[in-house]
Amino acid sequence: MPTEQRIIASKPTIGASGKSPAAAPAAEEPEGEAKGGKKKKLVVVLLALLLVGGGAGWWFLMGPGAASGEEVVAEEPAPEPGEVVTVEAVSINLAGGHYLRLGIALQLTAEVHGEVSSAHALDLAIALFSGRTVEEVSSAEGRAALKEELRHQLAEAYHGEVMDVYLTDYVTQ
């Protein structure tokens, strides 16, 4: 009679890898899933950190948080008003045969000492108002916009010595 050999316990033999051929694929799947899962978690964590860092950078450099850094910078104090120089009224030709009688006064800063020539101011006013339509110079919005533009031009031309301009004579026909 032939003897039958039965293996009751499978103990690894010395020098064997310890894995049976049937158990090898099953053991690799959980290990592969663990590595892939770790990579996915790492990518998610890195993306989250990148988003938080980018959001914080935007907040402090360009967003509402950036305004706090600007408050530290001291603003230049507004100039003190000084003398008011009245410029004689002139008639300016408008479009369509109409004209504008314009008189202005220059509000100088307190830092101005001596006389200021009004010729340059008059030249700028004539250049700004000439050729405009009656409707443009007659409307409240148009008059305010032209006055603001003249004030800006005068501040640049007089290097900050003129802080405002007043319309003392303003008649259209």
CA pair distance 41, 92, nearest whole angstrom:
76
For 52-100, write each residue's pLDDT tens digit.
888 888 877 877 766 655 555 567 788 888 899 999 999 999 999 999 9
Record the pTM.
Answer: 0.56
More confident residue, 21 or 11: 11
pLDDT digits (tens, 9 = 90+) for 12-56: 666 655 555 554 554 455 555 556 778 888 899 999 998 888 888
pLDDT value of residue 35: 64
Q: Tell me the average pLDDT across 113-122.
A: 90
Which residues, at least 6 apart from 42, have a Cβ–Cβ distance to it below 8 Å? none
CA distances from 71 to 56, 60, 67, 74, 75 (A): 19, 13, 7, 7, 9
Comparing 116 with 76, the larger pLDDT belongs to 116
At residue 8 the predicted structure's pLDDT band, cuts being 50, 70 and 90, is low
pLDDT of residue 14: 67
Give residue 77's pLDDT. 82
For the segment 131-163, what is each residue's pLDDT rounded down to a tens digit?
Answer: 999 999 999 999 999 999 999 999 999 998 999
Cβ burial of 5 (10 Å; 0-12, 13-18, 19+) is: exposed
Q: What is the CATH number of domain 81-172?
A: 3.30.479.30
Give the pLDDT band of residue 173 (cuts 50, 70, 90). Answer: confident
